[in-house]
Structure 1
């Protein structure tokens, strides 16, 4: 069964929003940093693996970041708060848009 939760890591002032599969593997991850909760990552394991196979991993990670490689139970010390799929998806869409906009801005500066 898929699980969605968020966890705040005070030492980094970062909220991690996590989607995990039945085995506890992180399948999607969002990172929001600072008091304004600026989106800094919105990565999908499936997309990350596809980018790795295609040889475009550096571009993917520069745009969307990566997912945690730790099982879900290792998040427990960080007081995970359960989310609904809707709550996760709302943040996912916002974070993905912000990551894509940053990538377009980087591309425009480099052109």
Structure 2
């Protein structure tokens, strides 16, 4: 699914599990759709367990902390798996290229 937040001119792309928890999240800002986050809950948990959470957060961001069923005031568009994967892959590539 994806949602647009006009106050920040940001598109949010979400992959959610069967219980509604966000497993991966992409954030694209501005008219250029610049990736500012491409976070995976599983990666975040591994980084936390390894003591590298600050590093992960600063590079990739975080996923939403509540399941989508508890969100207020959003009107998500449904995406196909392929549409999400395309946004995810592009965002990760761009974020990773900044680290070099």
| TM norm. shorter chain > 0.5 | yes
Correspondence for 2:37: 41
Task: Name the TM-score, length of structure 2 as normaliser.
Answer: 0.94
Q: How many residues align?
A: 100
Counterparts of 2:72 and 2:33 in 1: how far apart (Å)? 21
Radius of gyration: which is bigger? 1
- Write out aligned runs for 1:62-81 (5 A): 62-75=58-71, 77-81=73-77
Tell me which protein shows more helix as a share of its residues: 1
Task: Name the TM-score, length of structure 1 as normaliser.
Answer: 0.85
Counterparts of 1:99 and 1:59 in 2: how far apart (Å)? 13
Structure 1 residue ranges, 4+ long, deviating more than 3 angstroms after superposition: none
Instruction: Please state how far the C-alpha of 1:74 moved relative to its aligned partner.
Output: 3.8
Q: Once superposed, what is the RMSD of the aligned Cα atoms? A: 1.1
* Contact 1:7–1:75 (Cα < 8 Å) also in 2: no
Residue 4 (structure 2) pairs with residue 8 (structure 1):
yes
Structure 2: gaps spanning 5 or more residues: none
Correspondence for 1:91: 87
